[in-house]
Amino acid sequence: QVSWKLADHPTLPKGKTLALIVLDGWGEDKPDEYNCIHVAQTPTMDSLKQGAPEKWRLIRAHGKAVGLPTEDDMGNSEVGHNALGAGRIFAQGAKLVDIALASGKIYEGEGFKYISECFEKGTLHLIGLLSDGGVHSRLDQLQLLLKGASERGAKRIRVHILTDGRDVLDGSSVGFVETLESDLAKLRENGVDAQIASGGGRMYVTMDRYENDWDVVKRGWDAQVRGEAPHKFTNAVEAVKKLRENANDQYLPPFVIVDENEKAVGPIEDGDAVVTFNFRADRMVMLAKALEYQDFDKFDRVKVPKIRYAGMLQYDGELKLPGRYLVSPPEIDRTSGEYLVHNGVRTFACSETVKFGHVTFFWNGNRSGYFNPEMEEYVEIPSDVGITFNVQPKMKALEIGEKARDAILSRKFDQVRVNIPNGDMVGHTGDIQATVVACKAADEAVKMIIDAIEQVGGIYVVTADHGNAEDMVKRNKSGQPLYDKSGKLQILTSHTCQPVSFRNMHISSFTVIIT
């Protein structure tokens, strides 16, 4: 048993309150009109940078530095918060799935054996994000899984797609569906009955997170399990093209694919196998609960088929959910939060719902709940529901700032940890003006927290998990903004590969990776 005892820090003063501020989606990039952080008034962040350059560093937040497969992989909140919270780099879900698929080990594990017992009589359903963004899932992994499962006896396969436009360009869904359709056609040539069965945009169908809005999961359930949706099509490419006339990829309404008799081609039935092929947890765990729990009261499931269900990964290490999975998740142990409770350091953590799990669940190594509720307090501020965040770009930044301020001034906590979501959540909408407002609000929240820290003579660290708001356009190799065929600027809704800043009051005491 390795000791939990931490030695005193060589230079950091003891007994001071530490504010740990994570600005979500706040990268560093050259100043131009598409850098919303630059355009916005951010006097607090500016003064942290300019006032004390020796205490300000850039750190990498993408690619191998955070455990992602390649240097082309942009950072994301899961890997960013895992790395910050654990203080170590773990091979992440994306990479672990790549390795398991390449070696074929994925097909030898308990999870695959469990589902494959349905292949003889039942259908294999694959549900997940159809994208090559590499944040929640990857198209090439789905392609390999389709091939591998059909080679190992799956005779009837139904894919339930969720369109992206958030980790990839809006509009790219059409191409992804075309690619998938041509793969499924090849499977059909080889005698496998394989089809797309349902779909919808990820932010409107299935991929809610942290129980912000169960209706999102219900809409998916109705289409995937019950075969019911407001829109019916006989062809998925046509479905996506048509529905895009009134919504973008992220928000496409749910649809089902029907046969010539208007009958849904792939509802989930007794005896079927289901795999959720996203490797990332936060936006799959709600569906995993609906698929796995006997007692479930979040919405009326109407039909609860007897299925064999496995996740691509186990999404929650504490809840052991789902119980069956194809690839073992990274074992993120001995995180900073666990060390703190063992050393009598009291923690306060806070964000609004859409990022709450980032500073708790992800921070603690994909583990829900407290390590020790007597030493920790986690506060969730309810997010606005049913809107896109460009409509309310200030989100709950000031409320988070107030809660953190009060926690600092109460002197009841040694570490006060927050995630300020604005740059990321509004950046993902692709609305440049709103993102500028978002960045200003985030800056005001930082000020509120730092003022409180100064009042109690504490210390602070301000950093970010990955970039987003600092670049809102797609660019060519030389950095020029790109336009589509109709001359429209290509908006970048996704994260970036930019470094993030790391500012603290005692920089010499920290090890940082300088880009």
Binding mask 25-64 for ligand 3PG (x = CB under 6 A): x---------------------------------------
510 token code pair: 């920290």
Residue pair 214/298 in contact (Cβ under 8 Å)? The answer is: yes
**Closest CB to ligand 3PG among 167 and 228?**
167
Q: How far is the CB of 78 from ligand 3PG (least distance, A)?
A: 6
Q: How far is the CB of 377 from ligand 3PG (least distance, A)?
A: 23
Asked if residue 98 binds Co ion (CB under 5 A), the reply is: no
Pick what 167 binds: Co ion, ligand 3PG, none; C-beta below 5 to 8 Å, kind-dependent.
ligand 3PG
- The DSSP string of 188-239 is HHTT-EEEEEEEEETTTTT---TTS-HHHHHHHHHHHTT---SEEES-HHHH
Selected range binding Co ion among 289-297, 373-381, 384-392, 424-432, rule: CB under 5 A: 424-432
Selected range binding ligand 3PG among 39-47, 74-82, 245-253, 378-386, rule: CB under 6 A: 74-82
Peptide bond into 421 cis (omega under 30): no
Which residue is listed with tokens 């504010």? 19
Pick what 283 binds: Co ion, ligand 3PG, none; C-beta below 5 to 8 Å, kind-dependent.
ligand 3PG
**Closest CB to Co ion among 86 and 426?**
426
Asked if residue 76 binds ligand 3PG (CB under 6 A), the reply is: yes
- The DSSP string of 463-481 is EESS--TT--B-B-TTSPB
Q: Which of 479, 511, 475 is nearest to 169 (CA)?
A: 475
Pick what 228 binds: Co ion, ligand 3PG, none; C-beta below 5 to 8 Å, kind-dependent.
none
Binding mask 126-165 for ligand 3PG (x = CB under 6 A): ---------xx-----------------------------
Query: CA-to-CA distance for 205 and 218, rounded, in angstroms?
Result: 8
**Per-residue DSSP letter, 159:** E
Residue from 38, 62, 95, 166 touching ligand 3PG (CB under 6 A): that is: 166
351 belongs to the catalytic site: no
Residue from 424, 443, 470, 471 touching ligand 3PG (CB under 6 A): that is: 424
Query: CA-to-CA distance for 136 and 144, rounded, in angstroms?
Result: 16
Asked if residue 283 binds ligand 3PG (CB under 6 A), the reply is: yes
Q: Which of 77, 150, 173, 501 is an active site residue?
A: 77
Query: CA-to-CA distance for 108 and 110, rounded, in angstroms?
Result: 7
Neighbours of 515 (CB within 10 A): 13
Neighbours of 343 (CB within 10 A): 12
Asked if residue 116 binds ligand 3PG (CB under 6 A), the reply is: no
**Closest CB to ligand 3PG among 62 and 289?**
62
Distances (CA, A) of 269 to 163, 230, 290: 24, 20, 15
Residues that bind ligand 3PG (CB under 6 A): 24-25, 76-78, 135-136, 166-167, 283, 424, 428
Residues involved in catalysis: 77
